[in-house]
Amino acid sequence: MLHNFVSTISLVFKSLMNRRGTAALTVASIAVSAALLSVVDRVRTDAQTSFANTISGTDLIVGARSGDLNLLLYSVFRIGNPTNNFSWESYRLIKDLPMVDWMIPISLGDAHRGYRVLGTDLGYFQHYQYADNRSLSFSDGAAFASATDAVIGAEVADELAYTVGQQIVVSHGVTETSFLTHDENPFTVTGILARTGTPVDRTVHISLAGMDLIHSDGTETPGLDDEPGEITAGLIGLKSKTSIFPLQRNINEYEPEALSAVIPGVALQQLWGLISVAETALYGVSAMVVLAGVLGLLATLLVSLNERRREMSVLRSVGARPGHIFVMLVSEAAMLALSGALIGLFLVQLGILLIRQYALSEFGIQLSIGLRAFDLYVLAGILVITVFVSVVPAWRAYRNSLADGLTVRL
């Protein structure tokens, strides 16, 4: 039985090698379709993981009145631009409420060579958390001690080759090039943060006083604890989760100023909901591509049957029964599909290895390497569908070999 199986497989393999051109193309089309489906799933889950990992332990985000998503995107992911600032008085009022454990001020709007500059206070390094309640840590240096100090993220340090002590200049606006630079007020890098895999890596942090300094005429240097007039957003940690709703409501209805408070998890889920339409479309298209690949395989097999009548006759003459011919064709299809899917999944791993760094620095998405359950489903799915549809050519070959016997009338 086993011997029989092995000899069938080796026969199939030899037959395929004889037609290696078309076989390779068929394998390639299956490989591409498997790779596409695997990539779509991987990018989806990895993107969601990256987004979910960026913020942790923050109960509410406060900003000027805007939409939930907007506020989340610009305050935490540095995507898009803030609509407006809000006053320092409101910030102090909320920060000093009895249910508030901590509040981090955030001031945005400027850049250093394409990297966003974020004004904050020392509480940021203490309370900001990412990925499962992990806190920020310094790989070199320490937090700012004066208004002209800066703390940079790991990627800023790597890309621009900055070390502690480097003098940097902040420019107005958020693009790489700006024609308004505040070069009369250079900042000194005092600390470099350890890599987090979040937008923090691509951020230059300065104090709120420093933020004010680059927007003043620069005649006098303020102290580190000088209070700014306004900030862009605030991240709040509460003593008890039960205060989330009442505080959110109060902030949203706060009359002296139009403010919005969002729960980060809720806004993230809104984001999933928004992109799930596109995701479903992508999955659908990829599934169709897989189907097209398998149909291509079916067509190739069917076309090849006629020119292989002589091959079948030879096999019959050495003792193969029509049943053997049937099994041979099904295993041929399975072999093509299996090698195609395996090559496709391997290509995905290779591709991720190649674009990993780019995806991280350009989109902030950390792509993971390694097989997943979904990849195995893809593999099994393609195999099952192929075996299923290969019954058609196998049946044809079976009938042919019954009719032809040992002599082929071509």
b/e 149-177 (16+ beta carbons within 10 angstroms → b): bbbbbbbbbeebebebebebebbbebeee
Q: Which is nearer to another protein, 256 or 370 (CB)?
A: 256
Q: Report, in Å, the least distance between residue 66 CB and another protein.
A: 15
Q: Report, in Å, the least distance between residue 56 CB and another protein.
A: 6
Max Cα–Cα distance, the chain, nearest Å: 102
Cα–Cα distance, 369 to 364 (Å, whole number): 16
Q: Report, in Å, the least distance between residue 221 CB and another protein.
A: 32
DSSP letter at 181 equals: B
Q: Report, in Å, the least distance between residue 209 CB and another protein.
A: 24
Cα–Cα distance, 347 to 42 (Å, whole number): 13
Q: Report, in Å, the least distance between residue 254 CB and another protein.
A: 6
Q: Which is nearer to another protein, 21 or 370 (CB)?
A: 370
Q: Which is nearer to another protein, 9 or 263 (CB)?
A: 263
Q: Report, in Å, the least distance between residue 75 CB and another protein.
A: 17
Q: Which is nearer to another protein, 55 or 111 (CB)?
A: 55
Q: Of the candidates 216, 175, 196, 191, which has an alpha carbon nearest to the alpha carbon of residue 53?
A: 196
Cα–Cα distance, 397 to 306 (Å, whole number): 9
Contact residues: another protein, CB under 8 A: 45, 48-49, 51-53, 56-57, 59, 93, 97-99, 132, 239-246, 248-256, 263-266, 268-269, 272-273
Q: Which is nearer to another protein, 108 or 200 (CB)?
A: 200
Q: Report, in Å, the least distance between residue 45 CB and another protein.
A: 4
Cα–Cα distance, 77 to 55 (Å, whole number): 9
Cα–Cα distance, 198 to 128 (Å, whole number): 12
| Residues 191/151, Cβ–Cβ less than 8 Å | yes
Cα–Cα distance, 398 to 388 (Å, whole number): 16
Q: Which is nearer to another protein, 53 or 185 (CB)?
A: 53
Q: Which is nearer to another protein, 293 or 364 (CB)?
A: 364
